[in-house]
Chain A
């Protein structure tokens, strides 16, 4: 049985092909550039090529992310929280708390052993709390995105950002630069501010090990370190955690498909 999971995020579209709910056959991602449907088609093609599987061979397609309703061919759509939680448990079965930091939103949820979401919370308005902020800082400070994290690790005295608004936070950062604060301290300050915001969401749902970080920021060593320091405990990370939501939706698709095959009368979601 082959199920596909597509995560149509605000910044990137990610896809996963899964065999029998267990084995990852392929992953792919592309920036969505405001037109996630197009990117999604390309992601699907790429997945097929990598795994050498024709579209017709995919038994069930489950979508997630803010564009989850945009794909007419989908069999089911689930919310980002539900899918990331499943993905996280697949990667780290002892996960109890998932932190998902993506382009525009930070989310956190506490989950049961099976990956069922118990409590969840996302960043409210007025927060420089997610990936886009890191991207903008990268532009401003003229440090490529990939280098932000590694550079931040050298920080001795991170300079925290106090402003709650991303726009005003940028001004604050520029001020810090003008005042001669070392770049690494500014960068680490950015990640620490992000993790502190995530931390307050985490405290809202209740902190319990193991904690797993998923979403785009998992690729950033600076964010990972900052989160570990802020929470004061180990945080699971893995390369595939970048695809957690897509992965989770493929898993959910798989279990849905199993159920459907048991009770063929049900036409499904």
Chain B
């Protein structure tokens, strides 16, 4: 197994405020396309992530392209793509960003992704973007858009209302109209008219990406020893930073390589990781989960690319897009699914043949916190072991996390 991060029980730090070097990427993304192994691709991704100035977006702009920041989870990136603009996943500021202004504007008891996203807006790190879309996945994301509209008045920002009534026949027409509100703004940003034809093509591009992402997830589920969680995560994460047309061949090649990997199956317990559907844990934490003796065979990372399997463009692609949200089977914390929570977690456990569940919820992420209680009830009834831990985008000590994860593994292994 390639060792990606050299992690001792505790990771080494750098001085506060210090960030990695600025990375320059060519406008044709050849650095990625020329990577000759998964390891190299993943290492490059790691470097790109350490640079908070969005190197891939800057590269895209070199040829005059426009970019739209998409906050997780259900932002219809296809719409952005259909205008020929680059939809970029906004997944917070990562470990190296110092938060010093966002705290004051937002409040203290809020998740890190909201704070770091605002901090980036306030410190010019989001300058490479022309517009931002925030879905109504929670009150924080929603309110964040309201602050963006004040602090970045020269850029468009939009709050997309996501319906929570999934049974009314009026929901899909409403969501189509809701998408049209977004389209009005995107048209202004792009200086172009919306085209059904283009959207149809975009849907197909995303379908291809989704199919590959799905293949990767199946590999992780069926042969978790072939791809580490960190590799897996970085490959997905890259999908929100590069043009899809670039990510697709990269991912395809990576899959071929990974599927052929010869690797010994360790004696590790199979777990699913529930909760990080929006804010993302640090790489160290992800690695720690597997280091202590787990195989992660199911998770909620990078949901922005994964909330539905496939969208048939159909006669009215906009309606198809709306339908996909309303009918999506994915059951995460930012979607109303009364009375089915228990069944959902159990079927996920069964599908992945997991031996336990690790709830890894972002600190202060209330939707995730509330689901844990309902999930726990179902797991208790079934007698399945679980562990609940909170994480933050930024952390320097992993002692408590390690202690709890080790105990969890020991509690399953020892008799």
Task: Tell me if B164 counts as interface (CB < 8 A to partner A).
Answer: no
In the complex, the chain A residue whose C-beta lies closest to that of B408 is A120
Let me know if B410 is at the binding interface, CB within 8 A: yes
B403 contacts A82, C-beta separation under 8 Å: no
Task: Give A109 to B410 CA distance when docked, in angstroms.
Answer: 13
Complex interface: chain B residues within 8 A of A116 (CB) = 411, 414-415
Cα–Cα, bound, A66→B390 (Å)? 19
Q: How far is the CB of B12 from chain A (nearest CB, A)?
A: 16
Q: Do B415 and A66 touch across chains, with their CB atoms under 8 A apart? A: no
Interface contact B9-A82, CB-CB below 8 Å: no
Name the residue on B nearest A111 (C-beta): B411
Query: Does B399 have its Cβ within 8 Å of any Cβ on chain A?
Result: yes
0/1 string, B194-229, CB within 8 A of A gives 1: 000000000000000000000000000000000000
Contact of B407 among A66, A81, A124, A252 (CB under 8 A): A81
Contact A82 to B411, CB < 8 A, known contacts A69-B9, A118-B385: yes
A7 at interface by CB-CB < 8 Å = no
Given A69-B9, A114-B415, A118-B385, are A82 and B404 neighbors across the interface (CB < 8 Å)?
A: no
Tell whether B400 is near chain A: CB-to-CB under 8 Å.
yes
Which residues on A sit within 8 Å (CB–CB) of B411? Answer: 81-82, 116-118, 120
**Who on chain A is nearest to B405 by CB?**
A79
Q: Contacts A69-B9, A118-B385 known; A79 to B406 CB distance under 8 Å?
A: yes
Instruction: Check if B410 sits within 8 Å of A82, measured CB to CB.
Output: yes
- Asked if A80 lies at the interface with its beta carbon under 8 angstroms from chain B, I say yes
Residues 23-72 of B at the A interface (beta carbon under 8 Å):
none
Nearest B residue (CB) for A112: B415
Our count of residue pairs bridging A and B at CB distance below 8 angstroms stands at 39
Contacts of B415 in A (CB 8 A): 114, 116
Tell me if A37 is interfacial: C-beta within 8 Å of chain B: no
A interface, over-half SS: mixed
Q: Does A30 contact B (CB under 8 A)?
A: no
Q: Which of B9, B400, B406, B411 has the most CB of A within 10 A?
A: B411
How distant is the Cα of A109 from the Cα of B414 in the complex, in angstroms? 15
Q: Which residue of B lies closest to A86 (CB)?
A: B414
Q: Which residues of B contact A120 (CB under 8 A)?
A: 404, 407, 411
Closest A residue to B415 using CB positions: A116
Choose one: B385, B403, B410; the contact of A66 (CB below 8 Å): B403
A109 to B400, CA, bound (A): 15
Indicate if the CB atoms of B410 and A79 lie closer than 8 Å.
yes
Q: Is A122 an interface residue (CB 8 A)?
A: yes
Give complex CA distance A90, B390 in Å: 32
With CB as the reference atom, state the residue of chain B lying closest to A206.
B380
A79 engages B407 (CB within 8 Å): yes
Q: Is the CB of A78 within 8 A of B9?
A: no
A residues 89-105 touching B (CB-CB < 8 Å): none
How extensive is the interface on chain A, given as a class?
10 to 19
CA distance A124 to B9 in the complex (A): 20
The docked-state distance in angstroms from the alpha carbon of A118 to that of B407 is: 10
Contact with A along B372-415 (1 / 0, CB 8 A): 00000000000001000010000000011001101100110011
CB distance from B253 to the nearest CB of A (A): 38
Query: Which residues on B sit within 8 Å (CB–CB) of A114?
Result: 415
A198 to chain B, nearest CB (A): 17
**Bound CA–CA A122/B405 (angstroms):** 12
Whether the Cβ atoms of A122 and B404 lie closer than 8 Å is yes
Instruction: Write out the residue numbers on chain B whose beta carbons fall within 8 Å of the beta carbon of A79.
Output: 403-404, 406-407, 410
In the complex, what distance in Å separates the CA atom of A69 from the CA atom of B292? 13
Chain A proximity of B190: nearest CB distance (Å): 45
Residue numbers in A under 8 Å from B399 (CB-CB): 66
* Nearest CB on B from A110, distance (A): 10
- Report A-chain residues with C-beta under 8 Å of the C-beta of B385: 118-119
When C-beta atoms are compared, the residue in chain B nearest to A70 turns out to be B9
With A69-B9, A118-B385 known as contacts, the answer to whether A82 contacts B400 (CB < 8 A) is: no
Which residues on the A side are within 8 Å of B403 (C-beta)?
66, 79-81, 122
Bound-state CA distance A124–B407 (Å) is: 16
CB pair A117–B407 under 8 Å, yes or no, is yes
Q: Min CB distance, A8 to chain B, in Å?
A: 12
On whether the beta carbons of A122 and B400 are closer than 8 Å, the reply is yes
In the bound complex, CA of A131 to CA of B390 (Å)? 24
A14-44 vs B, CB cutoff 8 Å, 1 = contact: the mask equals 0000000000000000000000000000000
A123 to B399 Cα, complex, angstroms? 14
Residues of A within 8 A of B9 (CB): 69
Fill in one digit per residue for A113-157: 1 if any B CB lies within 8 Å of its CB, else 0: 010111110101000000000000000000000000000000000
Nearest B residue to A117, CB-CB? B411
Q: A66-B399, A69-B9, A114-B415 given as contacts; is B410 within 8 A of A78 (CB)?
A: yes
**CA–CA, A69 to B411, complex, Å?**
19
Closest Cβ–Cβ distance, residue B377 to chain A (whole Å): 12
Which among B385, B400, B403 has the greatest number of chain A C-beta atoms within 10 A? B403
Interface residues of A in 194-232 (CB under 8 A from B): none
Given contacts A82-B410, A82-B411, A116-B415, 16 further A-B contacts (CB under 8 A): A66-B399, A66-B403, A78-B406, A79-B404, A79-B406, A79-B407, A80-B403, A81-B407, A114-B415, A116-B414, A117-B410, A117-B411, A118-B411, A120-B407, A122-B400, A122-B403
Contact sample, A vs B, 30 pairs, CB 8 Å cutoff: A66-B403, A69-B9, A78-B406, A79-B403, A79-B404, A79-B406, A79-B407, A79-B410, A80-B403, A80-B407, A81-B403, A81-B407, A81-B410, A81-B411, A82-B407, A82-B410, A82-B411, A109-B407, A114-B415, A116-B411, A116-B414, A117-B407, A117-B410, A117-B411, A118-B385, A118-B411, A120-B407, A120-B411, A122-B404, A124-B390
Q: Which residues of B contact A (CB under 8 A)?
A: 9, 385, 390, 399-400, 403-404, 406-407, 410-411, 414-415
Q: Chain A: residues with CB nearer than 8 A to chain B?
A: 66, 69, 78-82, 109, 114, 116-120, 122, 124, 252
